[in-house]
């Protein structure tokens, strides 16, 4: 069961974010490990170009909404 405070906090974050930021944040939240490469986010969202996600991921990290958790080798 998810604690009500966690649900409220998640909703607060979503209201702070706009368009692409919100889509990317949700992609990470919907992944069980929450460890995705930029390419995996792009593919998960059905986007064609890495430049459609990279700057937004950087902004989400800089704003504290996401954090880097180490290195993950991209399969491509």
Q: Distance between terminal CA atoms of the chain?
A: 37
CB-CB neighbours of 43 under 10 Å: 16
Contact (Cβ atoms closer than 8 angstroms) between residue 37 and residue 25: no
| Per-residue model confidence (pLDDT) at position 54 | 94
| Per-residue model confidence (pLDDT) at position 11 | 52
| Tokens linked to 72 | 């993950």
| Per-residue model confidence (pLDDT) at position 16 | 72
User: Mean pLDDT of successive 10-residue segments in the chain (76 residues)?
Assistant: 54 70 88 82 93 93 86 74
Distance separating alpha carbons of residues 70 and 51, to the nearest angstrom: 21
| Per-residue model confidence (pLDDT) at position 51 | 94
Alpha helices in the chain (DSSP H): 4-16, 19-29, 38-45, 54-62
């Amino acid at each position: 069961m998810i604690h009500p405070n966690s649900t409220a906090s998640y909703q607060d974050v979503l209201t702070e974010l706009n368009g692409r930021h919100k889509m990317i944040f949700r992609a990470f939240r919907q992944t069980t490990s929450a460890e995705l490469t930029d390419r995996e986010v792009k593919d998960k969202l059905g986007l064609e170009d890495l430049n459609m996600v990279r700057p937004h991921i950087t902004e989400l990290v800089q704003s504290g909404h996401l954090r880097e958790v180490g290195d993950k080798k991209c399969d491509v």
